[in-house]
Amino acid sequence: MTQSTMRLTVNGKAYDVGAAPDTALLYVLRNDLELNGPKYGCGLGECGACAVLIDGVAARSCVIPIEGCVGRDIVTLEGLGTREHPDPVQQAFIDEQAAQCGYCLNGMIIATKALLLRSPHPSEDEVLEALRHHLCRCGAHVEIMRAAMRAAGHVVEAQA
Amino acid sequence: MAKSDTPERSQGTLTVVRAASPVEAVKFETFIRITSDGSVTAYNGHVDLGTGIRTALGQIVAEELDVSFARVVVVLGDTALVPNQGATIASETIQITAVPLRKAAAQARQFLVARAAARLELAIEDLAIEDGLIRGKDNRSVSYGELIAGESIRLELADDVPVKDVGSYSIVGQSVPRVDLPAKATGELVYVHDVRIPGMLHGRVVRPPYAGVDVGDFIGSSLIAVDESSVSDIPGLVAVVHIGDFVGVVAEREENAIKAAAQLKLSWKPMPTLPDLKDIETALRANPSTPRKLIDRGDVEAAIAGAAKPMPRTYVWPYQMHASIGPSCAVADYQEDVTRVWSGTQNPHHLRTDLARLIHRREAEIEVIRLEAAGCYGRNCADDVSADAVLLSRAVGRPVRVQLTREQEHAWEPKGAAQLMDVNGGLNADGSVAGYDFATRYPSNGAPTLALLLTGAVPHTPAVFEMGDRTAIPPYDYENLRVVANDMPPIVRAAWLRGVSALPNTFAHESWIDECAAEACVDPIEYRLRYLKDPRAVDLVNAVAERAGWKPRPVREDKQAEGDIVRGRGFAYALYVHSKFPGYGAAWSAWIADVAVNKATGDVSVTRVVAGQDSGLMINPDGVRHQIHGNVIQSTSRALMEEVSFDRTSVTAREWGAYPIIKFPELPEIDVLMLPRQDQPPLGVGESASVPSAAAIANAIYDATGVRFRELPFTPERILRGLRGEAQTTPEALPAPPQPATARAWQNPFTGRGMFATAAALCAAAIGIGAAVLPWRVIAPIARPDASVYSAATIARGQQLAALGDCAVCHTSANGILNAGGKPLPTPFGTIYSTNITPDVETGIGAWSYPAFERAMREGIHRDGRHLYPAFPYTHFARTTDADMQALYAYLMAQPAVRAETPTNTLAFPFNVRPLMAGWNALFHTPAVFQPDQAKSEIWNRGAYLVEGLGHCSACHSPRNALGAETTGAHLAGGFAEGWEAPALTSLSQAPIPWSEDELYAYLRTGESRFHGVAAGPMAPVVAELAALPDSDIRAMAVYLASFNAAPMDRVTQEALAARLEASTLTRASAASSVGARIYQGACAVCHEVGGAPLFGSRPSLALNSNLHSAAPDNLIQVILRGIAKPAVTDLGYMPAFRDSLTDGQVAELVVYLRQQFAPDRPGWKDIHAAINRIRREHAR
């Protein structure tokens, strides 16, 4: 098997990656670039834990080989912001305490970000639709919805 | 007071400790450590499973120590650092495990205050503390740090430490943001999955085929052989490890470990047959059990015998999953002195004991470092993977990270046990309960760590856990009451899952009392209150009824339907009593659930839940609220849709389609009512709110429909059966496992058909004709031609033609060098290997003169005179003009020469007799250059030339006869190639929207047509190659191909038809009322549902896809099994292969559903199982 080098642009930086072209992007992000944001959840694109932005669109990095990512702009959770300078979506999730274990959080934030990139003022239904195929097992959905709505500029009422 | 090491002494510390167990490397375990810089570290033996206890414990310590919350660091779950306080189970961290920590903090404060009083020479009453600074009434102050500077003070934890009065709390009882979320929201290193240590390798395990079964004498002794040569080609493979039935692979890179695990050939003994777990009731009744009486009050026998209305009922709970979102992961570093394991375990100390046993080490030589993992809600595979990592690290002498796959986590996680609850009971004539005789069956042993079983380190004998007794005694004061737990060994691997047996037991208790209330014509809440004596329970029930606006309903009334929807409301209550019997209560919980039931589809949606809870003192009220939300959502999911599926050997649900969990659009509205009880001790809140769930929902469904459901989950199928009055719990029995079929790579169409002789004779006869006509001779080899004689333009033109002819598609092996051949081409007659067409003189075509090349292209004869097989489509290439042929030759000769021998073909007789091909040619081949049809347009003729010549479309898109020649009179009428259907390109096309010129153009140019789908299978590389051709040629091909179709629709009509087809097949409108529908929703809809949120890649609309409308299911099955790993262009995106995630049965269910849903006017496919079986065997690998 040929082990070629592929150039990937992740979070604004170019990386030459020595992995087989059919290697899923997720493993390169996690192992070669040491990014923790995208998570392995199912390897089938079903759960959304591995979500990243590719050219500004949400993508499931567990089912996309790196050969499909050459020349594209990849952004991970880390590329959105940091603890000191979080992206408004990250800040909304922190403000709403929108996680329990937090393993799905990456996908929830990326999906919300992707939604806002294409639709800056989404309705509640659009938010639900954007998150529909992101699974959360802890049942943090209420807080996640509040966070996504807050990020989308909706006024979120305080809870009783 | 012992002294510790020097740096600390100079710095100064105060610790609160207790003596450690003799197995520890240290003498003391520490609860609190304060250093002279003022920092506070708190140690607790429990771990944060995602519930936020790290934050709550920090609050407790800050409160008792009188320091700010920000000053406290909480350390959890590192066996070298934290006290051994047992497993993090039963929601008892705050209720039980935090108690010594709180006392330790209080003890430290009292010590420091006393010391300050002495130092400041003031009475304790004259001191006040603010964030670790003790200030006297004279305003002099001293800090905690100053009080301990230069000393190492160790206090032994005392039992009788007074703690603060609740009234003086300022930190506990306030909502504090979780300390872990900023890091989680920004991708900092948080989880065990993120651990990277120098020199770390990647491991994967390969589990036995008895997936999810862990009792029986075959456990650990079923592996027959490991074929290590099957993975010898994996780059960077470090080791294949096997011990008993434990198998693992280790590689330098993770993706290569994945490939090795998938590719490794193992032989296993036949698997034993499981009981039929589609029928839980029968299986549990048949499982041997030992009755254990928990309570026997009054005279149950007599009371029930004398009851006016007997009320015997049976309630059934299915196997369910923890279903952690992140499959378990661990890193181990095996060393001679200390072995370190980074783990997501919920019981670090217990795991350490297991690991010591596994590798024969003392516990003190193992350190388990617990990092966060995906929420587990009980025992998942976290311990298993930790042990796996230790075995692999020991084998290779380097640190190894092991990540379980989704399929492994689903299949092997210890399931939440199924449970069977029998109630024998009855009512007196006045409607009161005469007696309640309750028996429960719970088959679980807590699931020993898998590696111990697989390697034979612990016996495989089925143990029995006494865990079916949680909340087995109902909360109601029935005069005559008997409760028996029938303890039994597991049937499949099972352990505790949130609510353990309390949730099923409460489902029975709370359904039964609801049934009684209905029989007695008493409001169900009022009826309960007659038997509920616990004042806090009564308060909670009343508060929840008021909050929800409960209207008393002594008699159920038929509901006014809104269309097909009927609505109902149900109540249930529970005090979650857990831990070893008799156990103790966690928080009190009560639900009022509102449901909407669709009587036509059986779909139940829980629209609103009022969840009330009395948790005692709430350390972090927001944290409690979030736990209640989580419990409501998760347990609603469990009640509505969750059930593990099995076949007769193993768990079959291995991804989220086969085991769906609730999604955002299905969420109920949740109204949380938290009773203010800050003056009462804090209680566990991690599970309590789950416990009333199923009963409240069942009771609401009864209210809506008048039908009582006593078995979970409330899937549309079960509800419909119930509404129709059909038996609820008699599912179709699962067949016993089939004998494995003998594998055949392909089927010779002539064997056994009596056609063998005919074929040979036919060809032999034809040879006679051919021999007379064709001079087969060797064309002398030449020196490799000098390509520089050709112009760059000619070579470029040749390159386009090579692309049109798909030369590289067949003449390049997977990941091989361009045109160097060696790709296996399966045909009905055997496997043919493509040849090397680079200009290498010895192994390629470098010695071929143009006449030799041209003869091969036009007549199918090798330079040396051998006949070529018509898998090489010379019958089409023959139509190429001489100028194009020369350009193609020029291009090929201008390429780099690559030395590569072609493997030998494996063809069956008579097809391995090359001279017979002469006869074949005489019968089926006319070598003539394309002649334009003057009656047609120029563009049509150009298209015809491209399509019928080098493009050789009909080689795949036409049917072939028994001898492999294109059937006459069926040109482009559809055929099969490489196991895929090449659909008809004529009016015989099954596409719901007829192909138009524009759509043909779009498809050939971009790999996708809005009205038909994307190129997949063998068509994807064809479109990829066509990228070399100019738009005008693609247009010409589209014009020509479109001419085979009837009069095209215009774009507007196409759009309208597409919109109609898509609207009529939207799945949102319908309940997922079959296994296939649920697999679609879980696995396919994310990328295929019309109108879904955009994802990278295309969104092929299944309603319009030809493959769903075809007469054969082959392409649909192929794409499900194999996915699309190499799309025509990367913009189209990728589709994962589901072959290792779905069983044949599940693929069949999915295929049946997709056909019904997206091609409703087409008849169902026949023999789907056979087709799946055949395609899996022949082509999917």
Q: Across the interface, do A58 and B405 touch by the CB < 8 Å criterion?
A: no
Distance CA(B1082)–CA(B1078), nearest Å, equals 6
Tell me the pLDDT tens digit for each residue of B1060-1119: 999 999 887 677 889 999 999 999 999 999 999 999 999 999 999 999 999 999 999 999
Instruction: Please answer whether residues B888 and B835 qualify as being in contact, where contact means their C-beta atoms are separated by less than 8 angstroms.
Output: no
Q: Which of chain A's residues have a Cβ under 8 Å away from the Cβ of B633?
A: 139, 141-142
**In angstroms, rounded to a whole number, what is the distance separating the alpha carbons of residues B1136 and B1122?**
7
Asked if A103 and B326 come within 8 Å (Cβ–Cβ), the reply is: yes
**Residues from chain A contacting residue B181 (CB–CB below 8 Å):** 93-94, 97-99, 102
User: Quick check: A49 and B194 in contact, CB under 8 A?
Assistant: no
Chain B residues within 8 A of A37 when measuring between CB atoms: 186-187
Count CB-CB contacts under 10 A for residue B841.
Answer: 15
Question: Could you tell me which chain B residue has the CA closest to the CA of A51?
Answer: B1095
Please say if the pLDDT value at position B280 is more than 60.
Answer: yes
Nearest residue on chain A to B1127, judged by CA atoms? Answer: A68
pLDDT (0 to 100) of residue B973: 94
Q: pLDDT tens digits, residue range A105-152?
A: 999 999 999 999 999 999 999 999 999 999 999 999 999 999 999 999
B385 has pLDDT over 50: yes
CB distance B102 to B163 below 8 Å: yes
B566-575: per-residue pLDDT in tens? 999 999 999 9
Higher local confidence (pLDDT), B915 or B616 = B616
- The answer to whether B189 contacts A2, with C-beta atoms less than 8 Å apart, is no
Residue B1014's φ and ψ, nearest 5 degrees, are: -110, 155
Question: CA of A153 to nearest chain B CA: how many angstroms apart?
Answer: 19
Helix runs in B1007-1113, H state only: 1019-1026, 1031-1042, 1051-1064, 1075-1079, 1085-1088, 1106-1109
User: Chain A: residue nearest B626 by CA?
Assistant: A140
Closest CB to A103 among B325, B630, B656: B325
A88 shares contact with chain B (CB less than 8 Å): no
Long-range contacts of A141-145, Cβ-Cβ distance < 8 Å, separation of 24 or more: A141/B629, A141/B633, A141/B662, A141/B664, A141/B667, A142/B629, A142/B633, A142/B667, A142/B670, A143/A96, A143/A97, A143/A98, A143/A99, A143/B626, A143/B629, A144/A93, A144/A96, A144/A98, A144/A99, A144/A108, A145/B664, A145/B667
pLDDT of residue B1: 36
**DSSP for residue B480:** S
Q: Could you give the strand order of the β-sheet that contains B565-578, starting from the edge strand earlier in sequence?
A: B565-578, B584-598, B604-614, B669-674
Burial of residue B842, with CB atoms counted within 10 A of its CB: 0-12 exposed, 13-18 middle, 19 or more buried: exposed
Q: According to the model, what pLDDT value does residue B552 have?
A: 97
- Band of the pLDDT at B736, cuts 50, 70, 90? low
CATH number at A6-78:
3.10.20.30
**Closest residue on chain B to A50 (Cα):** B326
Both tokens of residue B970? Answer: 């069926």
> H or E segment at B19?
strand B13-19
Element (H, E) at B998: helix B997-1006
Whether A159 sits inside 8 A of B672 (CB atoms) is yes
Cβ distance A100 to B50 less than 8 Å, yes or no, reads yes
- Average the pLDDT over B7-29 and give the result: 85
Q: Give me the residue from B256, B1085, B1134 closest to A65, CB to CB.
A: B1134
pLDDT at B172: 96
Q: What percent of chain B has pLDDT over 70?
A: 94
> pLDDT, tens digit, for every residue of B1140-1160?
999 999 999 999 999 999 999
pLDDT band at A3 (very low <50, low <70, confident <90, very high): low
Instruction: Indicate the domain borders of chain A.
Output: 6-78, 88-151
- A154 to chain B, any CB pair closer than 8 A? The answer is no
Closest Cβ opposite residue A130 in set B49, B631, B1093? B1093
pLDDT, averaged across chain A? 96
- Domain A88-151 in CATH 3.40.50.300? The answer is no
Within a 10 A sphere around the Cβ of B883, how many other Cβ atoms?
10
A100 touches chain B (CB under 8 A): yes
Please tell me the predicted confidence (pLDDT) of residue B910.
78
Flag whether pLDDT at B7 surpasses 80. no
Summarize the confidence of residues B265-289 as an average pLDDT.
96
Percentage of chain B lying above the pLDDT 90 cut:
86
Mean pLDDT, to the nearest integer, of B309-314? 98
Confidence of residue B1042 (pLDDT cuts 50, 70, 90): very high
Q: Which residues of chain A have a CB within 8 Å of the CB of B813?
A: none
Closest CB from B185, B253, B375 relative to A100: B375
| Residue B52, token pair as written in the block | 């936020």
Question: Which pLDDT score is estimated for B474?
Answer: 98
Contacts of A78 in chain B (CB under 8 A): 186-187
Contacts of B177 in chain A (CB under 8 A): 94, 97
Q: What angle do CA A60, A66, A72 make, to 5 degrees?
A: 80
- How many Cα atoms occupy the beta-carbon half-sphere of B1070 within 13 Å? 18
Average pLDDT over residues B762-790: 68
What is the C-alpha to C-alpha distance for residues B136 and A43, in angstroms, rounded to an integer?
62
| pLDDT, tens only, A67-102 | 999 999 999 999 999 999 999 999 999 999 999 999
- B625 and A159: CB-CB below 8 Å? yes
Strands B313-317 and B906-907 come out as unpaired
Task: Closest CB to B626: pick one of A1, A47, A97.
Answer: A97
Identify the weakest region by mean pLDDT among A17-21, A24-28, B751-755: B751-755
Q: What is the pLDDT of residues B851-876, one digit of tens each?
A: 999 999 999 999 999 888 888 999 99
For the stretch B972-1016, pLDDT in tens is 999 998 889 999 999 889 999 999 999 999 999 999 999 999 999
* Helix, coil or strand: residue B610: strand
pLDDT score for B1073: 87
Q: By CA distance, what is A3's nearest residue in B?
A: B235
Give the distance from residue B416's alpha carbon to the nearest chain A alpha carbon, in angstroms.
15
- Over residues B457-463, mean pLDDT: 90
Taking contacts as CB-CB distances below 8 angstroms, the residues of chain B near A77 are 185-187
* CB-nearest partner of A105 from B185, B253, B323: B185
pLDDT at B768: 42
Under the banding of pLDDT at 50, 70 and 90, the label for residue B776 is low
Contact B764, B757 (CB under 8 A): no
Verify whether the Cβ–Cβ distance A99 to B181 is below 8 Å.
yes
How far apart, in whole angstroms, are the C-alpha atoms of residue B708 and residue B697? Answer: 11
Backbone angles phi, psi at A79, to 5 degrees: -75, -15
Q: How confident is the model at residue A156 (pLDDT cuts 50, 70, 90)?
A: confident
Six-digit token string for B107: 């003890």
Q: Is the pTM of this model over 0.90?
A: yes
Partner residue opposite B815 with nearest CB, options A1, A98, A100:
A1
Contact call for B626 and A140, based on CB within 8 A? yes
| Residue in B405, B631, B661 nearest the CB of A43 | B405
Encode pLDDT of B942-974 as tens digits: 999 999 999 999 999 999 988 888 988 899 999
In chain B, whose CA is at the least distance from the CA of A70? B1130
Q: In 3D, which of B40, B30, B49, B15 has the Cα closest to residue B348?
A: B49
> Cβ A68–B1134 below 8 Å, yes or no?
yes
List CB contacts (< 8 A) between B329 and chain A.
40
pLDDT of the residue at B1069: 65
Q: If pLDDT is split at 50, 70 and 90, which confidence band does B825 have?
A: confident
DSSP string covering B106-158, please? Answer: HHHHHHHHHHHHHHHT--GGGEEEETTEEEETTS-EEEHHHHHTT-EEEEEPP
Of A83, A129, A130, the CB nearest to B188: A83
**Number of other residues whose CB lies within 10 A of the CB of residue B293:** 10
Rounded to whole angstroms, the Cα distance separating B481 from B477 reads: 8
pLDDT of residue B620 exceeding 90, the answer is yes
Q: Do A58 and B403 touch (CB under 8 A)?
A: no
Query: Hey, what domains does chain B have and what are their CATH numbers?
Result: 6-186 (3.30.365.10), 192-272+323-413 (3.30.365.10), 280-319+418-723 (3.30.365.10), 776-929 (no CATH)
3-state class (DSSP) for residue B574: strand
| pLDDT above 80: residue A12 | yes
Chain B residue at shortest CA distance from A101: B50
Count of alpha carbons within 13 Å of B2, Cβ hemisphere only? Answer: 11
Phi, psi at B263, each rounded to 5°: -95, -20
Q: pLDDT at position B921, please?
A: 86
Quick one: pLDDT at residue B787?
86
Q: Does any CB of chain B come closer than 8 Å to the CB of residue A146?
A: no
DSSP three-state, residue B544 = helix
Whether residues B1086 and A45 touch (CB distance < 8 A) is answered with yes
Q: What is the pLDDT of residue B913?
A: 81
- B1017-1041 residue pLDDT tens: 999 999 999 999 999 999 999 999 9
Interface with A, mutate which of B664, B693, B817, B1129 (most A CBs under 10 A): B664
